[in-house]
Amino acid sequence: MAHQTVPNQASQPTPARGRHASQTAMPIVQLRGVTKVYGGDEATRVIALDNVNVDIFEGQFTSIMGPSGSGKSTLLHALAGLDSVTSGVISVAGIEITSLGDKALTHFRRDNIGFVFQSFNLVPTIDAEANIKLPMRLAKRTVDATWMGQVVDALQLRERLHHKPHELSGGQQQRVAVARALVSRPAVLVADEPTGNLDSTSSAEVLTLLRDAADQLGQTVIMVTHDTNAAAIADRTLIVRDGKIVNDLAKPSVDKIAEVTR
């Protein structure tokens, strides 16, 4: 399938593979004219994002790839509300997050964004179940037992709920981290190099569970990765170079991703 080059236009709907995603999925994340500049003078100025326009659709699994320094992680952090932008508008779940103050943005992230990173950030002294529930309890919100049961079963954690992190494999710990991110029913699950610290077996396990989060739970997943095999499990892959989205691949194959990232 031929790739699409999208230098300055908002990307169009891409039919998703996920069983919960419809052919006319609505944008859950929208970026319009988003630019991020680091450095205040010409000598130190770095344009990390350069007038990015893109829609990301509800229920889809989107991967983001690009060389080191391309802006892919900046893009993820910006749409997740972790990093401010110099100009442009970002909307998530119908809320313009670029107009929110610090406190409102913190609350928005807590309620709408699930985070999965390379480091699992599990509390070592409590078991998997308590780790999964911890963010909800800190936010003084009630855990929906039915939904948590669905998440736990989808991620095959039922038999590991009363194990502490040191009693779990790397892949199982990452499962717990994903369950913790999902239990609040986020609008978007973002994953920044989630397999970066894992061996090949655990990496495959984590990628499968992210795929299952989209397929079985209808979750919108956005993942940054440097691995073409990881990127190819997504419904769509965005290729970032020099702060721009230069390719937008629907149902990407490993070969196609490799071709456009050479």
Pairing between β-strand 61-65 and β-strand 236-241 as defined by DSSP bridges: parallel
Give the pLDDT confidence of 148-161 residue by residue, as tens digits: 998 898 888 999 99
| 25 pLDDT higher than 80 | no
Q: Which residue has tokens 């003078």?
A: 41
Give the pLDDT confidence of 181-201 residue by residue, as tens digits: 889 889 999 999 888 777 788
What is the distance of C-alpha 186 from the center of its chain? 11
* C-alpha to C-alpha distance for 88 and 148, rounded to whole angstroms: 36
Neighbours of 84 (CB within 10 A): 13
Q: Which residue has tokens 């892959």?
A: 237
Q: Which pLDDT does position 203 carry in this prediction?
A: 81
* C-alpha to C-alpha distance for 213 and 188, rounded to whole angstroms: 11
What percent of the chain has pLDDT above 90? Answer: 58
Q: How sure is the predictor about 6, in pLDDT bands with cuts at 50, 70 and 90? A: very low
The sheet with strand 87-92 has its strands ordered as 46-57, 27-38, 87-92, 95-96
The single-letter code of the amino acid at 150 is Q
The kind and range of the H/E element at 55 are strand 46-57
Q: Which pLDDT does position 21 carry in this prediction?
A: 47
Give the pLDDT confidence of 210-252 residue by residue, as tens digits: 898 899 888 999 999 989 999 999 999 999 999 999 999 999 8
Task: Take residue 10 and report the two structure tokens written for it.
Answer: 């908002």
Q: Where are the alpha helices (DSSP H) in the chain?
A: 72-79, 102-112, 128-138, 145-154, 170-182, 200-217, 228-231, 254-260
**What does pTM read for this prediction?**
0.84
